[in-house]
Amino acid sequence: MPVRFKRLAVVAAIGAVALGAMGPASAQAIQERTIRWGHLNNTDHPVSKGVQKFAEIVAAKSGGKIKVREYPANQLGSEMQQQSALRAGTQEMQSPATTSLVGIVKDYGLIDFPFIVSTPQQADALLDGPLGAALLAKLPEKGLVGLAYWDLGFRNVTNSKRAITRGEDLGGIKIRVIPNPVYLETFKAFNANPVPMSFSELYSALETGTVDGQENPFSVILSNKFFEVQKYLSVTNHTYSTNIILISKKFWDGLSPDEQKILQDAAIEARDYQRKVSREQAKAAIDELKAKGMAVNEIAPAELDRMREKTKPIAEKFSADYDPAIVKLFNSELDRVHALKP
């Protein structure tokens, strides 16, 4: 055999040995897996769109080995039930609103304070910065791992009684709220009658008059057809809500570093897509809700300022119950994000 071909044969043999050594390691790094992902939203909601995008990215990055199976509309139980399943290791992933985490990591209640941000850009900067990271760091000891924050949107009030043009208009209205003390105190400040209730019970409660109203982002109001049982929609933007992408720590700890990186990277990539879709749908939802017959009204900036002032004691009251270091970080981060240009 000519020398040149001998050299090529040697190089090929070395390459074959190297590939043979790498093959089993690579195969072991990414295993065949199915991830069950539950959430409370319908499949036309931006959160569902984000889950679908996440599934596409994970399939591409894992060579089709890791599959994501979506369970929307509370098919796996309420947000609290699903969190328990994640902590027990019997469910892999979930995308709840951070409000539902307060019973597990109390400091997540800071995000629920009313009127802390006024633009999506401020909200993103707050959640993607040091505060969001510090809160994520508290989850593993509770059996959860947080991968990213997605957009749920600013919350707005609907009801069957009257348009809300100032804080006083909320007086006496029975309004469903998330079972969360900050939400209860926020609406009590305006002499409303807040009723904590599971989301799965809400439509029926509105239909029967058990409650007069509720508060949620535009996309949730549209997706769940609240326009069928509510007349007035007032753009209060009183709280910004975010969905957190959670994964069971028991499941996470059983993944290889390569698999963990695939899921972490996919959560961030899908986040950017989901936020864009969510905000586009929110704008479109307003027009559609009007077309469905809802009376939509803005609130004058001066009245919003009055409402903001009215709720300041709530932040002061609840801040005393949280980790002082997290509260200090929260306040410094608010100063930073408020200085951001729209």
Domain-located, residue 20: no
Please provide the average confidence, as pLDDT, over all residues in the chain: 92
Burial of 188 (0-12, 13-18, 19+ CB in 10 A): middle
Return the closest-CA partner of residue 54 out of 178, 169, 147, 155: 147
Task: Give the C-alpha separation, 88 to 91, whole Å.
Answer: 8
Per-residue pLDDT of 105-163, as tens digits, reads 999 999 999 999 999 999 999 999 999 999 999 999 999 999 999 999 999 999 999 99
pLDDT at 179: 85
Amino acid at 204: S
Domain-located, residue 36: yes
Domain-located, residue 200: yes
Handedness of CA 335, 151, 141, 260 (dihedral sign): negative
Domain-located, residue 124: yes
Please state, as a whole number, how many other Cβ atoms lie within 10 Å of the Cβ of residue 124: 21
| Confidence band, pLDDT 50/70/90 cuts, at residue 16 | very low
DSSP 158: E
What are the DSSP E strand ranges found in 89-173?
A: 93-94, 144-159
More confident residue, 33 or 24: 33
Domain-located, residue 25: no
Per-residue pLDDT of 194-219, as tens digits, reads 999 988 899 999 999 999 999 999 98
DSSP letters, 227-274, are GGT--EEEEEEEEEEEEEEEEEHHHHHTS-HHHHHHHHHHHHHHHHHH
The encoded tokens of residue 147 equal 């991968």
The encoded tokens of residue 51 equal 């889950």
Cα–Cα separations (whole angstroms), residue 113 to 29, 187, 213: 42, 12, 20
What's the predicted TM-score (pTM) here?
0.87
Question: Mean of the pLDDT values across residues 289-301?
Answer: 97
Tell whether the model's pLDDT for residue 262 goes beyond 70: yes
Question: Mean of the pLDDT values across residues 309-327?
Answer: 95
Domain-located, residue 170: yes
| Confidence band, pLDDT 50/70/90 cuts, at residue 180 | confident
DSSP letters, 35-103, are EEEE-SS-TTSHHHHHHHHHHHHHHHHTTT-EEEEEE-TTTT--HHHHHHHHHHTS--EE--BGGGGTT
Domain-located, residue 15: no
3 state DSSP class of 144: strand
Percent of the chain whose pLDDT exceeds 70: 92
The domain in which residue 83 lies consists of: 31-338
CATH number for position 326: 3.40.190.170
Helix-helix angle 257-291:46-61, to 10 degrees = 150
Count: domains in the chain: 1
| Confidence band, pLDDT 50/70/90 cuts, at residue 26 | low
Question: Mean of the pLDDT values across residues 25-41?
Answer: 86
Return the closest-CA partner of residue 227 out of 287, 155, 313: 287
Domain-located, residue 40: yes
- Helix, strand and coil content of the chain, in percent to the nearest 5, comes to 55, 20, 25
Tell whether the model's pLDDT for residue 236 goes beyond 90: yes
